[in-house]
Structure 1
Amino acid sequence: MASKPASRRPSERRPSGIGGSLPSSRRASIDPSRLVRMDRVAHVGGSDDFNVVFIGAGNIMFGSDEGPWNHSFRFEHKLGPRLKVVALIDPAIERAQAVLQKKCDSFVVSAYQNTRIYKSLDDYAAAVANSNERPHAIAIGSPPMFRGSTKVGRDVELQILKHFPGVPLFIEKPVATGTEEEIQDAYTVAKAIKESNAICSVGYMLRYLKAVQMMKQIIEENNLRVMSTVARYACAYEAIAKPDWWDKSKSCGPIVEQGTHFCDLSRYFGGEVDISSVTAHSLEWDEEAGHLSKIPIDESKIAPENRIPRVTAATWKYESGAVGSLTHVAALQGTNYSCELEVFADGYSLKLVNPYVQPILYVRRPGDDYEETHRFPDDDPFFSEVSNWIDVIEDIEEDPEAAKILSNFDDAVKTYEFTWAIRRASEKSIKKKE
């Protein structure tokens, strides 16, 4: 028989409503000194098993050569021998078997030796319906087209709430990649999660960068009002070999699927966006300047109307009156991206460079024309987001410095709506041109 969830101390009982927002007594940021590398963190204490369900057996959950993502690796380091992956859910059974066998052949075998594979959440729920098994947490790394919706087959969050009410959720970003008309469905899912009081975190990992939290710290300590955010995201398109990424009908385009991280960071610093103010222009695949010489897939197999833009440039107003901008470019070859986010306030410039690999923060302060340089080698926001989520599950305190979740589902839907607004504005500009 599977072990029951570990008992929780009185201080760990979840306050009402925390599924959607943090209590006002707690800071909305993290002291950057508390974000430490996973090789310097002790495993979560205790002897009880921590039962986890993984939904998705792909790159996000188990890693690949294309990027640093690998949630299972972070779970293993955070929970140590307590980790027990009780189920791996993926319709691609052979892929699930392959990644599971690789784990069982390694030193983390104790976490996976009793893992069962299921084709669907319904199959798993039916298998445990008459048992005492209830997972401590569920991590969702399936493609975004299968989540964030109220439509049957794409409503994994609602199905989890039905079968396992209150179980904590970790959900990858973007929360969905449905049509623009389905954005309200995502808000419906957000409302259901909030009302369930389930502890939910969405994988906007750049919020957990030490550099980002240092920027937040400077803004908070100096009582600054952000005046402008300027974001630039240039991807190495030659290394993007997933055909779906190049097809707007499947991935929703590079702003919704990829630029979402910088749209989210822009909101994190600038506040809520006045959606009606969003304007954008794009460089399309069939324009003279839009030719790319090293596309790794056969773009001719994608309908012309579904081919992605090469450049999208957007501007908007925040509700505070501040101004934001984003330029997303599919132009670089090789493997390294070039990304920057600059935040301006009275007397201050905070510039984040290269956040995905070796983040650098340049700070200019009042009274000084020169920039301070802060480097953050070996920072791992993927670990920090998982670590904070698990700490909130295990130990909720009314301490302003306690572990915290920086992106819940409702907040992530706002970023999703924002990215769609940019895509819509850029496509309207094409029609005007014609």
Structure 2
Amino acid sequence: MFSYRCTGLSPLLAACRSSQKVHSNRAFGTSAVKSDADQLVKVGFVGAGGVSFGTAEGPWNHSVRLEKMPNVQFTAIIDPNLELAQKRVDDLSKGAYGHKWKGCDVFKDYHAMLEASSQEKRPDAMIIGVPPLIHGSLDVPQYAMELDLAKAGMHMLVEKPISMRPAEEVERLAQVLHEVADEKKLVIAVGYMLRYNPAIETAKALLKELGRPVASIVGRYNCTYNNIYKPQWWHTLQSGGTIVEQATHFVDAMRYLSGSELDRNSIRAVAVGPDMKLTDMPPPPHAEHEVPYDMRVNRATVAVFRFESGAVGSLNHTLLMHGQNFFTELDLFGDGFHIIVRDPYQKPAVLLRRPHSNDYEQVPLDLGRDMYEKQFDAFMHAVRTGDQSDVRCLFHDAARTYETSWWISEAAGSPVPDGSVA
């Protein structure tokens, strides 16, 4: 019988969802945190690249959002390219929030930071924005970044993809991180920021208001490619490929909106592979020119699947458009209703056709703050107070999105991680 339920969760995810704990006496450095929103938080970055410091590829720039927040001080940037890391510090020290960057140290790796940082300068929270190939492991010590930082008592917001290790290993890592976080009163979140997007928030609220189950979800994620220069992005087992690296945001949004998991056995997918030449590819040695052919990413992928709730879904991803603006859209259908989520990245909008109506209405959205700002507000509030109630994607939840994204990628014929070490 068709029902609207959340089933098939791992024991860890089910337990975590039932108790996103509120810690009133959170460990913070060497002292307990007050429930004061003005508590100073020392922040460090792992990675001096585009996700944290801006890029032409998209709107992401974590540092520019964080530096506008009150009572934040930046104390570390970690990157093997020390020159780039120092340039970030030097440039930002000259800006409107330059005082927050004064004294920020640079390190070649996080081990050097842990060894060198005094307690006064050691970050309370780390933003992890580095290639997934070098973190997110439980079994390979040199890639056990999250576990090492958690054991050192640091809160984290980790960018996706959260790993490039086998999904089973990442699930075990999530279990261990949950135990460490519970012991040390830590927040370990993942940057699935669409959960804070006003269009996604509104769609979720409408589903609750309508009180009717979703029967079908259709996702279209159409990407531009001419500004993607990094060769590792074009390598399936270094970045995850187009589904795990990029369309994973819609995989996560579908899980979040439906409240249900995908049934792995139901997934069917086809793809247009790298034999299709792209006319606006960045020149050599950038992009895929030096990537082995069998590791190059797909140009278009279409997947269909069933949710454990009984609903059906489809995902269409393409890497074909020119320019900078993506085309992204979600459709949610149920008995009598149709919700359209349009362009959540650039100009979010929601259209609704209600039961017993032929017309579509544009639903007002709160566009006062962008999704990245809201994500960091929730994260920093949790760091300061222990209240994780608005942290919408913790690591254990993201591990399910990671696993599900690989299911789709594998169904489309892409290679999957085998546990070997590069």
TM range (shorter): 0.7 to 0.9
Matches for 1:68-147 after TM superposition, within 5 Å: 68-79=59-70, 82-128=71-117, 131=119, 134-147=122-135
Distance of aligned partners of 1:248 and 1:63 in 2 relative to their CA distance in 1, 3 Å threshold: same
* Matched residue SS, 1:239: coil
Task: Please say if residues 86 and 106 of structure 2, whose CA atoms lie closer than 8 Å, have aligned partners that are also in contact.
Answer: yes
Is residue 19–residue 194 contact of structure 1 (8 Å, CA) maintained in 2?
no
State the Cα distance separating 1:239 from its structure 2 match: 2.5
CA contact (8 A) 1:241 1:296 kept: yes
SS at match of 1:418: helix
Unaligned 5+ segments in structure 2 are 1-12, 23-35, 416-422
Quick one: which amino acid aligns to residue 199 of structure 1? V
Q: Is the 1:53–1:86 contact (alpha carbons within 8 Å) kept by the matching residues of 2?
A: yes
Q: Please point out which of 236, 239, 251 is paired with 1:263.
A: 251
Over 3 Å counting, the alpha-carbon distance change for 1:366 and 1:278 in structure 2 is same
- Which AA in structure 1 matches 2:141? V
Q: Does structure 1 residue 175 correspond to structure 2 residue 175? A: no
| 2:266 is aligned with 1:277 | yes
Instruction: Return the alpha-carbon distance in structure 2 between the equivalents of residues 307 and 87 of structure 1.
Output: 34
Give the C-alpha shift of residue 302 in structure 1. 2.1
Q: Mind listing any 5+ residue stretches in structure 1 that lack a counterpart?
A: 1-16, 27-43, 430-434
Aligned partners of 1:295, 1:209: CA distance in 2, in Å? Answer: 30
Moved over 6 A (4+): none
Note the C-alpha offset of 1:292: 2.0
C-alpha displacement of 1:19: 10
Distance 2:206 2:256 in 1: 14
Alpha-carbon deviations, 1:353-377, whole Å to 9, x = none? 1111011111111121111113645
CA gap 1:251/1:86 in 2 versus in 1, 3 angstroms? same
Structure 2 Cα separation of the partners of residues 134 and 239 of structure 1: 35
Shift of 1:301: 2.2
Report SS of the residue matched to 1:326. strand
Distance 1:284 1:425 in 2: 13
1:291 deviation in Å?
Answer: 3.0
Give me the TM-score of the superposition, normalised by structure 2. 0.84
2:401 is the alignment partner of 1:415: yes
Question: How big is the shift at 1:77?
Answer: 1.7
Task: Report SS of the residue matched to 1:293.
Answer: coil
The aligned length equals 380
Provide the C-alpha distance between the structure 2 equivalents of 1:233 and 1:347, rounded to a whole number of angstroms. 25
For each residue in 1:263-294, what CA deviation from the matched residue of structure 2 results, as whole angstroms up to 9, or x when unmatched? Answer: 111111221111121110011122xxx33221
Q: Which residue in the other structure is 1:390 paired with? A: 380
Bigger mean CA deviation after superposition, 301-310 or 203-212: 301-310
Written as runs of structure 1 = structure 2, the 5 A alignment for 1:200-211 is 200-211=188-199
TM-score of the superposed pair, with normalisation by structure 1: 0.82
CA contact 1:352–1:362 (8 Å) conserved in 2: yes
Deviation at 1:415, TM superposition (A): 0.8
Structure 1 residue 146: Cα displacement: 1.6
Q: Summarize deviations over 1:361-407 as a string: whole Å, max 9, x none.
A: 1111112111111364565101111111111222355xxxx851111
* C-alpha distance in structure 2 between counterparts of 1:311 and 1:414, whole Å: 23
With 416-425 and 241-250 compared, the bigger mean Cα shift is at 241-250
Alignment partner of 1:253 is 2:249:
no
